[in-house]
Each structure stands twice: as C-alpha cells, then as structure tokens.
Amino acid sequence: MTAVSSPWISTWVEVCAVDSIPLEGGVAALVHGAAVAVFRTYDGTVYAIGNVDPFSGASVLSRGIVGSRGDAPVVSSPMYKQAFDLRTGQCLDDASVSVATYDVAIMDDHVRVGSAREVP
C-alpha cells in the first residue's frame, strides 16, 4: 500500500478510550477479524501489534509485561517470555521472527487502529 491511509477512512477501527489502556499495559482488540494487541508505554505512546504469539500460536501478547530493552519499548510474551519491539514487531530474541504492526491514531481521547503496516 502506497497511499497514505487516513484515520477518517472507515478501515480504521475505534478500540477504546486511551485511559482504559493501563500505562505500561495492553489490551486486545478485534480489528477486522484479527486480534490486535494495543499497548501504552510509560511516555504515553500507543502501539499496536498482532496479538498472536508466534512461538505458541496463542492469542496472548496483550497480556505480557511492557518495559524496555535498551532503547526499545518492548512487550515480553506471557507464554515463553520472548521480547518484541513495539515499534517494529521484531522479536529481539530471535532475528527470524516478527509480528505485524498496525497504524495507530488517537482521536478524541480514543484509540483507533488502522491497517497492518507492510514489513519493511
């Protein structure tokens, strides 16, 4: 996709109020049938990545612990603890693994999740 997607276009799905995502916590949302994990980091930034943990196949990444590794904001999978970079979806414990990331927009204090970004 090359066209810049706009949050006003209906492919964006409103997920929840920003406040209902705990700081350094996550929630799961259903976005066009896909489970997406939406996190809020300590500085207030909201990120969205696929919710399915690639190592176990379970839809659980939103329930992981949010923190940092070096400069990267990360979530660690609640299943086997691998860390994923919230910005890129890259697994930091296995270079060959990553999960999808999604566009995020905040409007009227609510979080909207857009399409899956293309993997660079």
Interaction site with another protein (CB under 8 A): 13-16, 20, 22-25, 27-30, 35, 38, 41-42, 52, 54-60, 63-70, 73-74, 76, 78-83, 93-94, 96-97
| Cα separation, 116 vs 103, whole angstroms | 7
Of residues 2 and 15, the one with the C-beta less far from another protein: 15
Of residues 9 and 22, the one with the C-beta less far from another protein: 22
Residue type, 82: Q
| Beta carbon of residue 65, minimum distance to another protein (angstroms, whole number) | 4
Beta carbons of 6 and 96 less than 8 angstroms apart: no
Of residues 6 and 56, the one with the C-beta less far from another protein: 56
Beta carbons of 32 and 44 less than 8 angstroms apart: no
| Cα separation, 100 vs 84, whole angstroms | 11
| Cα separation, 91 vs 9, whole angstroms | 31
| Beta carbon of residue 97, minimum distance to another protein (angstroms, whole number) | 4
| Beta carbon of residue 1, minimum distance to another protein (angstroms, whole number) | 22
| Beta carbon of residue 59, minimum distance to another protein (angstroms, whole number) | 5
Beta carbons of 28 and 51 less than 8 angstroms apart: yes
Of residues 4 and 12, the one with the C-beta less far from another protein: 12
Task: Enter the tokens of residue 65.
Answer: 């612990």
